[in-house]
């Protein structure tokens, strides 16, 4: 019974499922919900002081870029920091190792690859899944930051109307708003406290966050500091423009939902079809595997499917 291919595939599937579940718990257990964390930076200040809190938070986010880093490495670190992950190096190595093991098992047990080909396949599998996870977390964090930006600007406007200086208004936003905007503006406030110029501190925050709407805020503050004007009124108009921009994004996503759904159907349908044929006629693909070219054919098909999926996604994702 245990030698049956169906049982073996089932056990492999269960093992992979358990590994992925453990991996997800390992990744997300370190992330606390925003409801429990009002401002992580303020909590660190109570124990270590503002400067130590600022340095500690940047190190945990992987933003400690050295001057000798190559441009590509610096971009990778910046991209990773924008995801908001605070995993130590040991945990990152463990997660990548687990992904490599899962990829190797999939290559050997499912795709029937020889160990010589399964090892590079496992590496590609590891890099792809890790990149997708970081991309997803980064996109979700940027979307949450963008949704908090307009209410955060309203807090600054009310503080300015009450007679507070801009530094105090930014500090108020950091205390009142939850993560991620609370911590980011807390870092901004600390940089200004340590003597950094507001324009440079805003540019640093743009690198840490990666939200396009943050560029509008930085440009607005920079132009107002150079030309003068009613800052509270300018920021109020900016907050309304950001809300209108988010509404337009939501409308575009609603209009393009059919195309994005079609892309996923086109991507998943071959796997569903393969499973159906394999279930109804288990020996249907035996000639392909026995020909000796099965691994090459499957790899080529997967690559073309991936390219097609990326092209379709590019067609239904609009820049706005």
Judge whether 48 and 56 are in contact, CB under 8 Å.
yes
pLDDT in tens, 257-306: 887 888 788 888 888 888 888 888 888 877 877 777 777 888 888 888 88
Which sign, positive or negative, has the C-alpha torsion 59, 63, 69, 74? positive
Q: What confidence score (pLDDT) does residue 300 get?
A: 84
**Angle, helix 71-82 to helix 115-161, in steps of 10 degrees:** 60
In 3D, which of 125, 90, 84, 86 has the Cα closest to residue 104? 125
Q: What confidence score (pLDDT) does residue 154 get?
A: 92
Q: What confidence score (pLDDT) does residue 59 get?
A: 55
Tokens 């050295």 belong to 66
Distance of CA 188 to the CA centre of its chain: 22
Q: What confidence score (pLDDT) does residue 153 get?
A: 92
Q: What confidence score (pLDDT) does residue 37 get?
A: 46
pLDDT in tens, 89-100: 888 888 888 988
Compute the mean pLDDT over every residue in the chain, rounded to the nearest whole number: 78
**Is the predicted pLDDT of residue 24 greater than 70, yes or no?**
no
SS3 16: helix
Q: Which is more confidently placed, 286 or 23?
A: 286
H helices within 106-180, ranges in order?
A: 115-161, 166-176
Judge whether 38 and 180 are in contact, CB under 8 Å.
no
- This prediction has a pTM of 0.67
pLDDT in tens, 223-270: 888 887 788 889 999 999 999 988 988 888 888 888 788 878 888 888
- Lowest-confidence region among 62-66, 146-150, 303-307: 62-66
Q: What confidence score (pLDDT) does residue 158 get?
A: 92
Query: Which segments within the chain are labelled E, that is strand?
Result: none
What average pLDDT does the segment 188-198 reach?
81
What average pLDDT does the segment 48-75 reach?
57
- At 67, the pLDDT band (50, 70, 90 cuts) reads very low
Distance CA 207, CA 184 (A): 11
Q: What confidence score (pLDDT) does residue 45 get?
A: 53
**60 Cβ contact list (under 8 Å, min separation 6):** 86
For residue 122, give both structure tokens: 């496992």
Q: Which is more confidently placed, 182 or 39?
A: 182
Judge whether 149 and 213 are in contact, CB under 8 Å.
yes
Tokens 């108009």 belong to 237
Ranges of each domain in the chain: 256-320
Distance CA 244, CA 121 (A): 45
CA distances from 60 to 32, 77, 89, 183 (A): 14, 12, 10, 13
Judge whether 178 and 37 are in contact, CB under 8 Å.
yes
Fill in the DSSP letter of residue 109. I
pLDDT in tens, 153-171: 999 999 999 888 888 898 8
């Amino acid at each position: 019974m245990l030698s049956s291919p169906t049982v073996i595939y089932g056990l492999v599937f269960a093992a992979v499922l358990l590994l992925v579940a453990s991996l997800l718990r390992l990744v997300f257990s370190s992330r606390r919900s925003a409801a429990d964390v009002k401002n992580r930076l303020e909590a660190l200040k109570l124990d270590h002081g503002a400067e130590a809190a600022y340095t500690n938070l940047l190190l945990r986010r992987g933003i400690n870029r050295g001057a000798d880093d190559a441009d590509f490495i610096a971009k990778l670190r910046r991209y990773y920091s924008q995801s908001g992950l605070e995993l130590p190096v040991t945990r990152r190595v463990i997660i990548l190792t687990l992904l490599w093991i899962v990829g190797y098992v999939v290559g050997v047990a499912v795709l029937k690859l020889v160990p010589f080909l399964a090892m590079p396949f496992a590496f590609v599998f590891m890099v792809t899944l890790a990149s997708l996870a970081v991309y997803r977390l980064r996109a979700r964090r940027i979307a949450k930051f963008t949704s908090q930006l307009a209410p955060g600007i309203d807090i600054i406007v009310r503080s300015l109307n009450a007679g507070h200086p801009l530094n105090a208004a930014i500090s108020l936003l950091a205390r009142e708003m939850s993560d991620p905007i609370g911590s980011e503006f807390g870092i901004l406030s600390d940089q200004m406290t340590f003597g950094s110029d507001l324009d440079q501190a805003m540019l640093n925050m743009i690198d840490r966050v990666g939200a396009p709407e943050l560029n509008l805020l930085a440009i607005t503050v920079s132009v107002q500091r150079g030309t003068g004007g009613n800052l509270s009124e300018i920021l109020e108009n900016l907050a309304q423009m950001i809300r209108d921009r988010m509404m337009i994004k939501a409308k575009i996503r609603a209009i393009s939902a059919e195309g994005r759904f079609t892309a996923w159907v086109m991507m998943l349908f071959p796997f569903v079809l393969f499973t159906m044929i394999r279930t109804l006629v288990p020996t249907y693909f035996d000639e392909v595997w026995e020909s000796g070219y099965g691994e090459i054919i499957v790899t080529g098909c997967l690559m073309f499917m991936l390219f097609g999926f990326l092209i379709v996604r590019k067609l239904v994702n609009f820049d706005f």
